[in-house]
Amino acid sequence: MSDFRKAALDYHAKPTPGKIGIQITKPAETVKDLALAYSPGVAEPVREIAEDIDNVYKYTGKGNLVAVITNGTAILGLGNLGPMASKPVMEGKALLFKRFANLDSIDIEVTHRTTEDFINTVANIADTFGGINLEDIKSPECFEIEKELIKRCNIPVFHDDQHGTAIVTAAGLLNALEIQGKDIRKVTIVCMGAGAAAIACMELLIKCGAKREYIYMLDTKGVIHTRREDLNKYKTLFANNTDKRTLEDALDGADVFIGVSGPDALPPKALKLMAANPVIFACSNPDPEIKPELAHAERTDLIMATGRSDYPNQVNNVLCFPFIFRGALDVRASVINDEMKIAAVHAIRAIAKEPVPAEVLQAAQVAKLEFGAEYIIPKPMDPRLLPRVAKAVADAAVASGVARIPMPKHYMES
């Protein structure tokens, strides 16, 4: 057993199994405390909520509670291993919500027979929570699940594998293109992968200015084009009217490669086909589509990002999802809409252009970070992410009409 594997297993097992627990937030030491916490005192908030359902936010923890929900059909890069195998990942997500945004979170793993069963299960328990983070659900079912739950639930529902990945990718790519002197409205993008993350990334990039006709998406059968008859309705949105068929065909003259597929899918020699000053996002985890060392050996003019923390420019969902939920819950948003996602993109990318605090340098274990080829997105430990991204999201929720309460005072004062 490797040292790292043993350390990971020990971390999850000792001294108490798992990564999250329950914390009492009120005194519970005396008979009077217990009388207030439960019978007979608990009857008073019950009556208040029955009279006005919005009082549930005043007297319970609903407004600060996120459910992390999965069926375990697409766990990380490990595949369909079932609900119980997904529990360590969902507990980890709950840990990140608490660590980065002080949001309470509970993991829920659902066993079901049909997609409709899953949707009904989640919809029926949704009112317990302030928001729902869907996670590790395979494509294409994930699209229908999220769509139906957004329709049926009166709280924000957000599939992080889709939209979290898309938001951080868009923030990093816009900055990389700026450094490379390129305009997102004019660049050609090759997307290796056609699952949930790939489709969400491309859709958000289009909302940020990319042109659909300049995007070449590939699945395991090659370029997705208009003459293919094996495409589902989600892939069809990216069917390009082109004679290009292979990855090499698509890369010829391309400005951007975005990989959300699998390890070593991008041959180093193929980089030579790309336009000057290309941008490579190889986001497969733990092994990217191309290792940065190999990419830089082929091209000295590229900007490179991966999903790994041991290379510069980590595309990491933790840069957005805790803060998006923080902002959404703080104004009781009914949904997380495109305006809120785009606000998060611009808030994240702006932080990377500013001087980096000493505490971030210390956490990153580097002497210096400056906006440029090896620093296009903030580090996860950057304390500016919480106030800045959350406020941008809350502002966008209010401006777009999906907030139920005004901006909190602490946002107005910041």
Which residues are part of the catalytic machinery?
Answer: 38, 93
Q: Is the distance from CB of 126 to CB of 85 less than 8 angstroms? A: no
Ramachandran angles phi, psi of 148, nearest 5°: -70, -40
Q: How many alpha carbons lie under 13 Å from residue 211 in its C-beta half-sphere?
A: 9
Residue type, 300: T
> Which residue in 119, 191, 125 sits closest to 159, CA to CA?
119
- In 92-213, the DSSP E strands lie at 104-109, 131-134, 157-159, 189-192
- Token pair of 389 as six digits: 């991204």
Residues 35, 41 contacting (CB under 8 angstroms) = yes
3-state secondary structure of 280: strand
Given phi > 0 = left and psi -120 to 50 = alpha, else beta, which region is 413? alpha
Q: Cα–Cα distance between 151 and 49 in angstroms, integer?
A: 24
The Cα 360–Cα 12 span in angstroms is: 26
Measured between alpha carbons, how far is residue 254 from residues 49, 58, 191 in Å? 57, 53, 11
DSSP string, 183-235: -TTT--EEEE--SHHHHHHHHHHHHTT--GGGEEEEETTEE-BTT-S---HHH
For residue 69, give the DSSP letter: E
> Which among 215, 176, 174, 211 is positioned nearest to 198, based on CA atoms?
215
Quick count: other Cβ atoms within 10 Å of Cβ 272?
Answer: 11
Buried b or exposed e, range 249-270, using 16+ CB within 10 angstroms:
bbbbebbbbbbbbebebbbbeb
Residues 6+ apart with CB under 8 A from 325: 66, 97, 101, 103, 131, 133, 156, 158
Separation between Cα atoms, residue 398 and residue 333, nearest integer Å: 8
